[in-house]
A and B are shown apart, each in its own frame.
Chain A
Amino acid sequence: MYTGPFTPYEAAHLLRRAAARGNRAEAEALASLGLERAVDELLRPPEPAPDPEIETGPKVNQGRVHRALVRHWIDHWLRTPTPAAERLVLFWSGHFTSEFRKVKSGRLIWRQNQTFRTLGPGRFPELLEAVARDPAMLVYLDNARSKKQHPNENWARELLELFTLGEGHYGEADVKAAARAFTGWSVTPPRKARAEGREIAFEFRARWHDDEPKTFLGQTIRGGEEVLQILARHPQTYRFLARKFLRFYLAPDPPAELVERGAEVLQLEGSYGLLRWLFTHEAFYAPEARNALVKSPLEYLVGLLYVGKRPPERALGRALLGMGQVPFQPPNVAGWPEGQAWLGDAALLVRLNLLPAVLEETSDLFVFMDGADGAYAAVLPEGQML
């Protein structure tokens, strides 16, 4: 438990890490609450996000749908009274990835984003259950087409490798067993959904399902539910996730003992429980934790827009593309890169050249970065750090 001073300086660090946006008045208000109440305030239950208007139909321009979704999420992140939930949504959307270019449905992609908002702060088993039945995920990782005659291993493999245990904690036979267990976990055929005027939803197709017993991580199972249960109880799942959380919220190379303790907290108390523990931990306020993370492009943009002015819509889209992070479009199933990978020449150039279009002389950068004195301070290396 951190017992040092909690001044606006520490509160700015907390706000930056938790929410990636803020201003001096907000940091001062948090400081006056004291650490624990400030953390409680930041980790209030998320305010719901309104659903956007989404064009549908076979002739719809998917690029326009995607741009509208990006705009909608950024607007919500800028307006919501619970911005910490939105940075957590970004965390989960880089973990349980889906790509718009493959899913090709604004509705399904947005529904997945809402799932991260509603279930993301809670306990992992509930989120995992929801993601395994999420239509965007079933389409993205091809499980929607997986039949017992030809099980598709895409979802099963990523579930083990990227979403729960991590490499080295399962074998090829476990991937094959899990793939068989998930055969028949599918979605409403799009044509049928259109004809009947309803949403594409999870559908279990018993005729596609392989109900024979199989051995998964040493246990005899039949269906996907059992795979999920085993993974959601597995301590390695929480170690893997806790390390990823700490890399996102604390530092690029978190100490092993913090990962171990974080894993226990995550399993018992869920994501917000883990964040509450971390945000009140002394390691979080240590000098080496300050300026230890590079802002991702979306965090950089949200932080600037919150205290600056809005550039033309086209400039926003080009900036996100140029900086290398287009929401709902991670580069691949492993999610976005992190840290120094954001700072290649062209991307960094876009970051810096964006500043005159979004900042004013009077912009308040107190939370955006350390050492801010006037808007030009954003060109300092500190401006790139979270």
Chain B
Amino acid sequence: MNRRTFVQQMLTTLAVGGAAPSLLARTARAATAGEKILVVVQLSGGNDALNTLVPYRDAGYRKVRPNLAVGASEALDLNGELGLHPALAGLMPFWEQGRLGLIPAVGYPRASRSHFVSMAVWHSADPQRAATEGWLGRWIDEQDDPFCAVNLGLAAPLALQGRERQGVAVGGLDGFDLKLPPAALGRLRSSLEHPRSGVLEATRRAMARLVADTARMQGLAGYEPQAEYPRGGFGNALRDVVRMIAGGLEARVYYVSLGGFDTHADQLARQPALLEQLAAGLSAFARDLKALGREDDVLVLGFSEFGRRVAENASGGTDHGKAGLMFALGPGAGGLKGPGYDLDDLDDGDLRYRVDFRSVYAGAAAFIGARPEELFPEPQPVLPLLG
């Protein structure tokens, strides 16, 4: 009997016997929504929104970006006003299929232009910076499986840290195993059979959990991804996510990152290569999901800690700004969401935010059955992201 069937049966029993306690009610919802998966893609460094989703008809845009503006003939037109950067050509099929959603001018009140501060705000979903846990960490606290959320990286990011526990951090699927000489491994296993007391006992349990978790990961059904992923950490991470989904790991959230977007200089030489990597990775990922028959079970949500200044600087780049672009890729996610850019009403030279990022989080989290009150300390509006 797997965990889900067990929980279902237990609840049926409880329901017959009387009212189910709230903890069990939560577990039940987790079990029924368990098929859906959210993949968060973090673009670190502050992706330039205006050269990703380009207002190519806007004279004001072209005027303040004499060297950087993407021209009308280059932009991949979406609606006669906005177009994708040509490096994102790989995503156009998803736009045409109604699977690519774009949300311009996303941010939060009193925005910080610091990478560190702003990233912490996006992770904690608390613009006051008082919260010490992440937005998905609050949800992780409510789940009954430590593998409910997996970060592809060395340590769990703040977004996946709850009060009680945190998501599993997997540096890479191939590396997630104990690499010890057989004698050492044998000694470890046999010593874990003997309970200790106090803090030492908690440590023994943590080690036993690790041994079990690595075994679970090694026990995944092998799957060789069909699509070709771009070279580098981002492509490898998405490839590993596909392998984990195909292998039967029941994680509901995956977290991957692509860095290098801090284009203060030489933006024309740097941003397109990153966008191309993003598009190549996401389209390979979508192809594999389709091959697996899981394309309608996965929603990708992308963000960056801020957008960049509207006007270009003297080094062929752009400086830190405020509101940015979010994107979503998945069933029913297609289209432009929110009121769009307003280049006539800037906030100290930056895009003014017109959509609060927490409402987008809430819309995306609904896909895996998470309610806004599980994610945020204070009530938030929900941006309908799907359908």
Contacts and interface: CB of A to CB of B under 8 A. Distances in A.
B143 interface: no
Interface string B123-152: 000000000100000000000001000000
Contacts of A346: 154-156, 168-171, 176
B179 A353 contact: yes
Interface string B67-81: 000000000000000
B183 interface: yes
B209 interface: yes
Nearest to A102: B116
B274 to A, nearest CB: 19
Contact of B132 (A334, A349, A356): A334
Interface string A307-349: 0000000000010011010000001101000011001111111
A191 B191 CA distance: 59
A382 interface: yes
B116 A101 contact: yes
B65 interface: no
B201 to A, nearest CB: 8
A268 interface: no
Interface residues of B, number: 39
Interface stretch (A28-36, A82-90, A291-299): A291-299
A4 B63 CA distance: 81
B51 interface: no
A343 B185 CA distance: 18
Contacts of B156: 344, 346
Contacts of A322: 154-155, 171
B101 to A, nearest CB: 31
A297 to B, nearest CB: 11
Contact of B169 (A344, A355, A377): A344
A385 B198 contact: no
A384 interface: yes
Interface in B153-189: 154-156, 158, 166, 168-171, 176, 178-181, 183-185, 187-188
Interface of A: 99, 101-102, 251-252, 288, 291-294, 318, 321-322, 324, 331-332, 334, 339-340, 343-350, 352-353, 355-356, 376-377, 379-382, 384-385
Given A345-B213, A350-B154, 17 more contacts: A99-B116, A102-B116, A252-B199, A291-B198, A321-B155, A334-B132, A340-B202, A343-B207, A345-B210, A346-B154, A346-B171, A356-B179, A356-B180, A356-B184, A376-B184, A380-B191, A381-B203
Interface of B: 114, 116, 120, 132, 146, 154-156, 158, 166, 168-171, 176, 178-181, 183-185, 187-188, 191-192, 196, 198-200, 202-204, 206-207, 209-210, 213-214
26 contacts: A99-B116, A291-B196, A291-B199, A292-B199, A293-B199, A294-B203, A318-B154, A322-B154, A324-B155, A340-B202, A344-B155, A344-B156, A344-B168, A344-B206, A345-B146, A345-B170, A346-B168, A347-B169, A349-B178, A350-B171, A355-B184, A356-B179, A379-B184, A379-B188, A380-B188, A381-B207
Instruction: Kindly list the 7 A-B residue pairs having the minimum CB-CB distance in the complex, ordered from nearest.
Output: A346-B169, A343-B206, A379-B188, A381-B204, A322-B154, A381-B203, A376-B184
